[in-house]
Structure 1
Amino acid sequence: MLDDVKPFLILLVFGNIENLILAAQGVAAHVNPLGLAILSLIAASSWLLLGTFGTKAALKYARYINFIGGLAIFVLGLQAMIESVPGILAFFH
């Protein structure tokens, strides 16, 4: 089982870090924490089911999936940093 997931391990680790960043953005935007938690659990459960049942079919596309997933994580992280700049600048004034 671990050998099946091995090509996607880096994507899983950085994807989870990105989920923490997105959750922090939700808190900073004063989103309802209960609603955010419910939506996060639904999204995580959906990805777990998709990953569990789709891994064998996705193995032949692992290189493409890792690239696209890594690019998405990079773009979302960049967006999070850019959106936080005004708040950081306001802190120093």
Structure 2
Amino acid sequence: MAGSHDAAVRAARAAAGAPDAVLVQDMAREGYEEIPALIVEGYRTLFAEVDAQLDAAVAVTDADGMVAARDLARLGVASGPCGAAALAGARAARP
């Protein structure tokens, strides 16, 4: 759809008013919090699985034979809730 993200959200909400329509989105608003919370929990699960796979696959040693920790991650997100879930997972995993 042409236009801004806000315009797309408004159009989706309008289309969801049809009798046979269902709106599923990760953007919460008053009265619509449960489904977005479940979606964000799914994002958190996704990032936890990625972390576990990276931890298993990345074993880089330095000159002293010490395992180097990952301290940088790059993530492109188009959704605030997705980015928030990634950041929350990264913060929770660090001391």
- Higher RCO (C-alpha under 8 Å, 6+ residues apart): 1
TM-score normalized by structure 1?
Answer: 0.36
TM-score (norm 2): 0.35
Q: From the CA coordinates, give the structure whose radius of gyration is larger.
A: 2
